Amino acid sequence: MPNPSEILGVIASPRRVAVIGAGYVGIPTAVVLAHLGHHVTLAERDATRRNSLLAGLSPIMEEGLDDLLVPTLQSGRLQIVEKAADAAGAAEIVFLCVATPQGDDGHSDLSFIDAVSREIADVLPAGAIVVNKSTVPVGTAQRVADLLGRRDVTVVSNPEFLREGFAVYDSFNPERIVVGAPSSAIGHQVADLFAPLRAQVVMTDETTSELTKYAANAFLAAKLSFANTMSRLCDALGGNVDDLSLGMGLDSRIGRSFLRPGPGWGGSCLPKDTAALVAIAHDAKVDISIVEASISSNHAQQAHLVNAVRDTIGGKLDGAVVSVWGLTFKAGTSDRRDSPALEIVELLLAAGASVRGFDPTVAADATDADLHGIGTFASVHDAAAGSDVILVLTEWPQFALVNFEELATVVRQRHVVDARNLLSMRDVRAAGFSYRGLGRR
């Protein structure tokens, strides 16, 4: 696996590259390409994100990103600009890394892709390649080509598979690079940008490349929904899901990752990408019930957890105080887009509970709209004060180190529901709390 310091500026034939959109995908993409030796211009229309980057600070929480950003900016190979057209005007290859959120009907909302395509259409140099790195539905390479209206420009699909929280590692160590292009010569121009990373390249057509990203995410969602269902079955029958997952996952055909039960999958990709794949299949009149079942099973998991909290405190949520630990969709990120924790918070509030939240990435007394007016606190200790039950929703490792004996004196009732199977049930019970995990007793 390459180490960033070994591959600094190693590329034999540097290219002029533009990256449009400085988000979870655009920043790592731009940093890796500049680090390898390409001349990169990153366009971001949001002034806060842009100014943060210019100051050498990543506007998104990703381990190791700041350490790479500063030397990359100092090398002069990474420029930050506001306008997509200013980045694309001199570029040989332009990566579109803008958001593709879920639209009202489940289809992807392509308005950012469309807008950038219009912005850059007239300035692209002859022979340029435009790369859809955003997750986009089948047919988007053609859609962008139509919007560009340039016979001398080619559009290529190159979906991104990085994991939030591991973006730097994954960007330098991709398990595969999928490129969908009208010819392999064009496709290889894109794949060759990343050649020093020595990743396996899957060269294919645009349709297959676009579909591969959705297929991968739908499969991961199905795997998680399967694990959640098994945890519910273990609860009902008295089994142990940790042992079950190990027993299943050691089969190399299955694999161990994504078999841990949790509060339901969420984040900025799996919910919108499974919804988009369902919409794509419906349009194509292809049965997609296997993915639809994963989605409904995910909602069932959240309802199951709310019921578990209700049962734990004696059958009534109305008037109860729930201390929620973790609000991001997973640990290691500050991203709360489509966080299952916030969906469960909404269900608790609707049932009449009040919520005291703590997350290491959320300030005390935060008032962001997605927090639904819950109280947020500076520590788990403060968030637990006066609560009837503690509900662990994000797997922040520090929660496993909390001293429950200290908490026992500040809560109103001693109950814990651990939706990540993170805590030591022995320690929690030894401090006088009831403990309920998922599929473990």
Ligand X SMILES: NC(=O)c1ccc[n+]([C@@H]2O[C@H](COP(=O)([O-])OP(=O)(O)OC[C@H]3O[C@@H](n4cnc5c(N)ncnc54)[C@H](O)[C@@H]3O)[C@@H](O)[C@H]2O)c1
Contact residues toward ligand X (CB under 6 A) are 20-26, 43-46, 49, 84, 97-100, 112, 115-116, 119, 134-135, 160, 162, 164, 268-269
Among candidate residues 348, 239, 249, 229, the one with its CA nearest the CA of residue 298: 229
Q: Which residue, 89 or 439, has its beta carbon nearer to ligand X?
A: 89
Find the helix or strand (DSSP H, E) in which 146 lies: helix 140-148
Shortest distance (Å) from residue 85 CB to ligand X = 9
User: CA quadruple 377, 382, 386, 391: dihedral positive or negative?
Assistant: positive
- How big is the CA angle at 338 (ends 380 and 249), to the nearest 5 degrees? 80
C-alpha to C-alpha distance for 23 and 346, rounded to whole angstroms: 27
Query: 85 or 317: whose CB is closer to ligand X?
Result: 85
Determine which one of 53, 269, 270, 380 is catalytic: 269
| Active site annotation includes 97 | no
Residue 340 tokens read as: 């299952």
Nearest by Cα to 127 from 152, 102, 109 = 152
Question: CA 83, CA 45: separation in Å to the nearest integer?
Answer: 6
Helix, coil or strand: residue 282: helix
> By C-beta, is 268 or 274 nearer to ligand X?
268
Distance CA 240, CA 133 (A): 41
Helix-strand-coil split of the chain, %, nearest 5: 45, 15, 45
Q: CA-to-CA distance for 155 and 132, rounded, in angstroms?
A: 7
**Nearer to ligand X among residue 18 and residue 348 (C-beta):** 18
* Helices and strands (H and E) in the chain: how many: 16, 14
Closer Cβ to ligand X, 210 or 388, answer by number: 210
DSSP helix/strand/coil, 280: helix
Rounded to whole angstroms, the Cα distance separating 383 from 366 reads 13
Q: Whole-number minimum distance, CB 317 to ligand X, in Å?
A: 33
- Locate 157 and state its tokens: 């699909």
CB–CB of 93/153 below 8 Å? no
Strands annotated E in 117-245: 129-132, 154-157, 176-180, 200-204
Yes or no: say if 423 and 395 are a contact pair by the CB < 8 Å rule. no
Place of tokens 């655009």: 26
Contact status, residue 239 vs residue 439, Cβ threshold 8 Å: yes
Where does residue 324 rank: exposed (0-12), middle (13-18), buried (19+ CB within 10 A)?
A: buried
The minimum distance between CB 435 and ligand X, in angstroms, equals 32
Shortest Å, Cβ 91 to ligand X:
14
Residue closer to ligand X, measured from CB, 102 or 376:
102
Nearest of 129, 122, 176, 185 to residue 157 by alpha carbon: 129
- Among residues 45 and 260, whose Cβ is nearest to ligand X? 45
The angle formed by the CA atoms of residues 230, 235 and 239, to the nearest 5 degrees, is 75
Which residue has its beta carbon closest to ligand X? Answer: 23
Provide, rounded to whole angstroms, the least separation between the CB of residue 408 and ligand X: 38
Nearer to ligand X, 115 or 351 (CB): 115
Rank residues 81 and 410 by Cβ distance to ligand X and give the closer one.
81
Residues designated as active site: 269
